[in-house]
Amino acid sequence: MKFYEFFIAWRYITANIKQSFIIAGAVAIGVSIIIFVPSINLSFFNDLIDRTVASAPHVNITKEIDTFQRDIRVLDRKFKENLLLIDQTQTRRRDISSYRGVLQEITPISGIIAAAPFASGQGIIVRGAEERGVSIRGIIPEIEVNIINIQDDIIRGRIQNLGTTDIVIGVELAEELNVDLEDRVTLTGPRGIARTFRIVGIFSTGLRGPDEGQVYIGLNSAQQLLDLGNDVTGIGVKVNDIYMADQIAARIENVTGLDATSWIEDNRQIIEQVARFRLIIGFINFLIIFAAASSITSVFILLISSKSKEIGILKSMGAKNLSIMSVFLTQAMISSVVGYLGGIVGAKLLISWYSYILSTTTETFLTTELPELTLNTQYALIALFYSMLASFLASIIPAYQAARLKPVEAINA
């Protein structure tokens, strides 16, 4: 591009500030929306995934559910072709009896950082007249801290050195039961075995599920409460690359013959929602760019019509068709860059405004803490590409028409 082409383009921008403002404004609005909507949603999704990965093992090793036949009871033997069967099958959990052997088997598998046994089951926690259904998880705290960030999630009390009557509960559950440290609660397992525990710690993961319905006790206490003997219900595994969890789970299954499920499989619905969201956003971006491009094309058609005499004079002075096109394309690109920068500022203002609106609440549907809302760099770059592409495509046809004007006809127009 020659200097005089840039100079003329700049003069057209400053001389037609209204049209230039319309072009930049259309780009700015499109860029703001392209950046703002994904930034907000992905901030929530990423925060949810981060909290989920931090508060649970990356891979859970369990034994498959056992289905076995029960006695068939027939209500009416006269009509053998229409037998009514009751409780023909029933399922029961199969526990891992030699978990130390499993730990030795999976240790050599590449990608595994740490592993820890756990005993889990459903139960009821009672304090006075208040009772809640909870998920009981028996752990060895000194090993479990290598698997999940439970130590960092403790907001009061402790998780280490859990005694036989010590329990750690979520902050939301503590508020619902109106309890605090040193208070005592009764915990009943699925087989009706009940024990009294003393609250020694309160944690907050920021996730509604664990904070409302998860309790931690010592592994031995959980084995007694759940009537497991010396067995455990599973082994939690932490891996060095969370996005390789599926592959590592498959290797564990091959080595041990046990079931291994990754956090990706457990949260498949959330991950699929993110993928669908990206697809929808891509379609919305197309509509936004189409609308912006239509506005830019309309402005340039009017601009070229008003500048036909100037175009004719330039061509009579020897300006080539390519130079005329370059003038208007440069004008479009400059306006697009200005609009993009304005869109970045607009997106940041929208994110700040939305953060302020959210600050009036303290929780969302899945989380009890609000995520930090940040401008998504990936979509900022996507918006830059789209804005430049839209401006180029929207201006190339009017610029081409301007270049085809004949000098005499343009001057006399």
In the block, residue with structure tokens 């830059």 = 384
Closest CA to 123 of 32, 222, 218: 222
Q: CA angle at residue 26 from 4 to 387, to 5 degrees? A: 65
Question: What is the pLDDT averaged over residues 6-22?
Answer: 78
Other CB atoms within 10 Å distance of the CB of residue 194: 12
pLDDT at 262 over 80: yes
Higher pLDDT, 124 or 73: 124
**Out of 63-77, 87-101, 291-305, 366-380, least confident range:** 63-77
**Out of 152-161, 192-201, 304-313, 325-334, least confident range:** 304-313
- The tokens describing 213, both together, are 């319905």
Question: What is the pLDDT averaged over residues 143-153?
Answer: 89
Burial 328-343 (b: 16+ CB within 10 A, else e): bbbbbbbbbbbbbebb
pLDDT at 198 over 90: yes
Q: What is the pLDDT of residue 66?
A: 53
Q: What is the pLDDT of residue 364?
A: 53
Q: What is the pLDDT of residue 398?
A: 79
Read out DSSP for 2-48? Answer: -HHHHHHHHHHHHHTHHHHHHHHHHHHHHHHHHHHHHHHHHHHHHHH
- For residue 309, give Cα distances in angstroms to 63, 169, 244, 268, 330: 83, 79, 65, 63, 19
Question: What is the pLDDT averaged over residues 300-321?
Answer: 74
- Helix, strand, coil: what percent of the chain each, to 5? 55, 20, 25
What is the C-alpha separation between 38 and 351, in angstroms, rounded?
Answer: 11
State pLDDT tens for residues 16-30: 788 788 888 888 888
- Answer yes or no: are the C-beta atoms of 343 and 28 closer than 8 Å: yes
- Answer yes or no: are the C-beta atoms of 352 and 345 closer than 8 Å: no
Question: What is the pLDDT averaged over residues 108-132?
Answer: 91
Give counts: helices (H), strands (E), the chain: 15, 12
Average pLDDT along the chain: 82
Higher pLDDT, 316 or 117: 117
- Answer yes or no: are the C-beta atoms of 30 and 289 closer than 8 Å: yes
Other CB atoms within 10 Å distance of the CB of residue 273: 13
Q: What is the pLDDT of residue 79?
A: 38
pLDDT at 84 over 50: no
Question: What is the pLDDT averaged over residues 247-271?
Answer: 89
Closest CA to 256 of 108, 93, 68: 108
Q: What is the pLDDT of residue 284?
A: 83
What is the C-alpha separation between 219 and 162, in angstroms, rounded?
Answer: 9
Q: Are strands 194-203 and 166-170 parallel, antiparallel or unpaired?
A: parallel
Other CB atoms within 10 Å distance of the CB of residue 356: 9
